[in-house]
Amino acid sequence: MAKKKKQSFTLPEGLTIGTQGSAVTTLQNYLKAFGYLQVDNPAEDSLGAMRAIGLETANDGQFDEITENALKKFQAFYGLPPTGRVDPDTLNLIQMPRCGTPDNPDRLFSVESSPQLAEFVASGNRWSKVNVTYSFQNFTGDLTQGVIIANIREAFFRWSNVCNLTFTETGANGDIIISFATGNHGDGFPFDGPGNVLAHAFYPPPGGGSLAGDLHFDDAETWTTAIPPPAGGTDFLTVAIHEIGHSLGLDHSAVTGAIMFAFYGGPKQNLHSDDIAGISSIYGARTAKATLSDTSVATPGFCSFNNQGFISWTGTNQQRNLNVMATSNLRVWHSKVILGETSLSGPSICVFKNRLVIAWRGVSNNQINVMSSGDGITWSNKVTLGETTFFRPALGVFNNRLVIAWTGTDAQRRLNIIQSTNGTAWTNKITLGDTSVDGPELCTLGSNLLLTWTGTDTQRRLNVMTFNGTNFFNKVTLGENSFTAPSIENINGRIVLGWTGTDSQRRLNVLFSTNGINFFGKQTFGDNSFFGPTVGGFNATPVIAWTGTDNARSLNTMTF
C-alpha cells in the first residue's frame, strides 16, 4: 500500500494569550508532548519519566499565562525570540518534522547558566558498561533489510568513533531493540502518521525504564537512503544517528547544526562538536582499546578479510562452542556465528586462497581440525587430521601453501608442522627437536615462514625460528618470558611479536623486527591476560586481541 502524503503540524499563526479554542488545545498538546507542559496522565505516560519533573498544567483550550510561559520556554530553547505567541518563526519550527523524544529545556538552561559547561545536554542516564548490544525486532518495506542493517551499523559507528563504547549486533534481546511501528505500538507514545514525529528513543537505565535504550521508527514515514532524498522522503541514517544519541543518554541540543537538534531539516550525517562533547562527557573520549560483549575461555584469533576484521574464539558456554564475528571498524561488531564445533582451547584463523580458514583442537580426542568459509558465516570443508595437541594449533600461509603448526602430545611436547596446497590434503609433516609449553604461532616474512613459541626451559623464554619450506634456521632465543603462547604477525613489512609477561600482573607486551632475528622497541601495556594475546593487522594498523582477566573473561582488541 502506498504511504500517505506527509502532513505538517496543523496550527494557525497568531495564537496569543487570551485566545481560546481547539487550536490552543493543539498547541498545548504539542507543548505537552515535547516537555514544556505537564502531560495529562504522567504515571501512564511511558515517556513521562523522560520529562522534567514539576511541569505546570495549563487550562485546556485556554491560552493562559502557563501556556504562554511554556511557549516562551520552547522559543528560548531553540534560540527564537521568546514572544510567547505563535509568530511566523515559531510556527515554521513547530511545523517541521522532528524527533518524538521530549526536550529537556530546564537542564539546558541550567547548563547555560554555568559558562564552564558545554552547550550539549546529557540526560543523566548512561549505560553502566562500555560494551552495548543491539538487535532488530522488525524492518520496514521502504528499505531492504540489508540496507537497514548497514545504516544502523554506520550510525553506531558514528558514536563509537568518538567515545569509549563498543557495539555488538545480536540476534535478539539486545540492550537496544530497534523496531518500526505505526500508531499505537504499545509504548504509551503512539506515532502520529506521516510527518510530524519521525521516531523516538528511550534513555539508558534508569530513566528509560523497561524500554531503556529502545529505538522506534514511525513506519508511516517514507524512509530513504537516497541523497538528496526524494520529495516526501526522510533520510534514514540521519534519524538513526539522532535516535541512537538518545539511546546512549543524550538530550536534545539547542545547537541547530548538531545531530541532537530535535528537528529534521534534511540529511545531517556527521556529528557536530556539540554532539561529540556531549557523548564524551558521558563515556569518555574514544580509546585505542575496545571491550566486546562476548567472552572467551582462552586466546582468540584475529585476521582481516575482504576489508573486514574477524575475531574467532571459544565461548564460555557449557559446550565451549567456537564463534566467529566480523567488524568494519573494531568498534561495531556484527554477523556473529556460533559454530557447532567445540574446543577447550582457542581457535586460530587466517586467510588462504580468498577463504577464511579456522583451526582448532577437538574436545573429545584433542585432534586438530580445519574448516573454511567464503564469508565468515557459512563454514564447510571440515577436515580432521590424525594429529593431536593439547593447545591451540597455529595457521600460516606462505608460498601458496597453508601451514599448520602445533605442539605434540608426546612426552617432550615437540613442535610439528604440516602443509597443504588446498586446505584439505596435508603432507610433509616435520617434527622438530624444539619443545614448547603451549601452542606455537606462525607468520610470513618474504618467501619464508617464522615460527615462534615458548620454550620448556626453566625461564620459559620466547623463541623465533625461520622456515623455508624444507629446513629451519636462524633460531633466536629472546630474553623475554611467558607462561603461555606468543603471537607473531607481519604488518606492513614489520614483524610484531606479542606475548603475556610473567610479571604478577600478566601484562601484554610487543616487540618489533624487520628480519625475524633482531627484535627491538618493546612496549608493555597496562592490559592483562591469563592467556597469550593474538597480534593481527587491520587497515594497515597493528591490532592485539586478548581475553581479559575480568570475571566474565571479556574479549578485547586494541590498536597500537
Active site residues: 243
Largest distance between two CA atoms of the chain: 97
Contact 130, 166 (CB under 8 A): yes
Q: Report how far residue 140's alpha carbon sits from residue 151's, in angstroms, rounded to the nearest whole number.
A: 13
Residue holding cell 487550536? 23
β-strand 222-224 against 233-235: which pairing, if any?
A: parallel
Q: Nearest to residue 241, comparing CAs of 273, 267, 205?
A: 267
β-strand 176-181 against 131-136: which pairing, if any?
A: parallel
Q: Report how far residue 8's alpha carbon sits from residue 212's, in angstroms, rounded to the nearest whole number.
A: 29
Q: Report how far residue 456's alpha carbon sits from residue 413's, in angstroms, rounded to the nearest whole number.
A: 9
Q: Report how far residue 518's alpha carbon sits from residue 478's, in angstroms, rounded to the nearest whole number.
A: 9
- 40: CB partners within 8 A, 6+ apart: 32
SS (H, E, C) 118-184: CCCCECCCCCCCCEEEEEECCCCCCCCHHHHHHHHHHHHHHHHCCCCCEEEECCCCCCEEEEEECCC
Contact 352, 402 (CB under 8 A): yes
Contact 233, 224 (CB under 8 A): yes
In degrees to the nearest 10, what's the CA dihedral of 19, 21, 24, 26? -170
- 451: CB partners within 8 A, 6+ apart: 405, 415, 417, 440, 441, 442, 464, 465, 466, 467, 472
Amino acid at 421: T
Q: Report how far residue 554's alpha carbon sits from residue 448's, in angstroms, rounded to the nearest whole number.
A: 35
Contact 385, 365 (CB under 8 A): no
Q: Nearest to residue 201, comparing CAs of 153, 154, 269, 249?
A: 249
Find the angle CA(482)-CA(487)-CA(488) to the nearest 5 degrees. Answer: 130
* Secondary structure (DSSP) of 451-480: EEEEBSSTT-EEEEEEE-SS-EEEEEEEEE
Contact 129, 259 (CB under 8 A): no
CB burial of residue 53 (10 Å; 0-12, 13-18, 19+): exposed
Give the count of alpha carbons within 13 A of 375, CB side only: 6
